[in-house]
A = this chain, B = another copy of it.
């Protein structure tokens, strides 16, 4: 017998991207609550931690099924389990890092990926002086090995840490090799087809979104 589908596929894509982007924060908060021994959490409590309204919490979760009973809160273990399943976090994802400069090295040495479902399994660079070096236990491979490694190691995700003027080209190359999700550290928004997901880590944009609150709006 086939397992009962957890949610009809056509429903999944109704959740707006902004809601999906919040789900990992739910997972993080619920994991901490579980570690602390909490059994139940209210939308009020979740809202405080996420800095959104309890109504927004209930609306967010309603895209993915029925959780909790009116006035009784959510079961921490059940909600956490379902959200991890929805986000595909029940197993590991193999990740490649492309670009092993200063930033790439910091990324490869960051201990935070593996406890949260991501294994950095390959590192690539086009600089012949960098290729062959060992960084954080990985041998840096030449770009020409990309296609083969992506296939053999089942790499669905790449972290791109190359200079800005190489970024689009590297992203295109990764898409050709079948990589379907990318995290880009260059300060541009690479263009990709709709079936490929990309997120940009951009500290400048984050800083600029705060200066608004530091000004009085009258200068200039």
Contact = CB atoms under 8 A, between A and B. Distances in A.
A100 to B, nearest CB: 12
B28 A217 contact: no
A208 B7 contact: no
Chain A, interface size: which category? 35 or more
Given A6-B220, A204-B118, A207-B157, A215 B88 contact: yes
A25 B218 contact: no
Nearest to A200: B206
A218 B5 contact: yes
Contacts of A58: none
A1 interface: no
A70 interface: no
27 contacts: A3-B218, A6-B217, A6-B218, A9-B216, A9-B218, A12-B217, A20-B212, A23-B208, A23-B209, A23-B212, A24-B209, A25-B205, A28-B205, A84-B220, A85-B220, A86-B217, A87-B211, A88-B215, A91-B219, A112-B187, A112-B203, A113-B203, A159-B203, A181-B207, A197-B210, A199-B207, A201-B206
Given A28-B187, A102-B109, 12 more contacts: A9-B217, A20-B212, A20-B213, A21-B205, A24-B205, A91-B219, A93-B207, A93-B211, A112-B204, A116-B187, A181-B211, A199-B206
